[in-house]
Homo-oligomer: A and B are copies of this chain.
Amino acid sequence: MTASLFWSSPVSDNSLDVAAPPADLEIIVNDARDGQKAQLRLWLRMLSITKIISHEIRRRLRNEFQATLPQFDLMAQLYREREGLRLGELSRRTMVTNGNVTGLADRLESDGLIVRQSADGDRRVTVAKLTRHGRETFARMARAHEAWLRELMSEVDDKTLAQIFGATGRVKRSVSSRLIKSED
């Protein structure tokens, strides 16, 4: 096998060597033709950052609001749709499978944060919407959530943030178009 790809020892972040803790799964490739692996390297970096931040957000949501991240995501979608959304649409928007939405909705409903309604004339459809309590709770969570992110990224200047945002847009488009094509 040519590609000898070796996962780097987590702690040794090629950037900065901060203490030790919860190691990081950033992978590095030690290969002569390093240029060939830019995609892999970038992917591992994004994965690593996302895991670290998710972990932290998850922890804080749990500690401060007794909520989980998927629940927060689901509520976020409902927050901007006063009329509520059908479960299937919710599934699409949150990128969570149908079956999963059922369970999430069950828990949120039993906590009094959302309600299920069989609206429309179509009895197959179920619409979920935030209760008053749900809206208030979410509003508080969203404020905290936003502040956490600002805090976590506080050492990065706005210009860099904007730059990454723009460039990652290209990555997103590339990935998305590949997925769509392969569906043919």
Identify the A interface with B (CB < 8 A).
1-3, 5-7, 9-11, 13, 15-16, 18-19, 21-25, 27, 35-43, 45-56, 73, 76-77, 79-82, 92-95, 139, 142-143, 145-146, 149-156, 158, 160-165, 167-180, 183
Contacts and interface: CB of A to CB of B under 8 A. Distances in A.
Contacts of A39: 146, 149-150, 152-153, 161
A156 B169 CA distance: 10
Contact of A21 (B152, B175, B180): B180
B56 A179 contact: yes
Given A143-B1, A173-B15, A173-B16, A55 B95 contact: yes
A15 B166 CA distance: 9
A38 B165 contact: yes
Contacts of A46: 46, 49-50, 53, 168
Contact of A82 (B24, B45, B47, B79): B24
Nearest to A77: B7
A149 B43 contact: yes
B175 A153 contact: yes
A12 to B, nearest CB: 8
Contacts of A27: 76, 79-80
A82 B16 CA distance: 22
B48 A47 contact: no
A22 B92 CA distance: 6
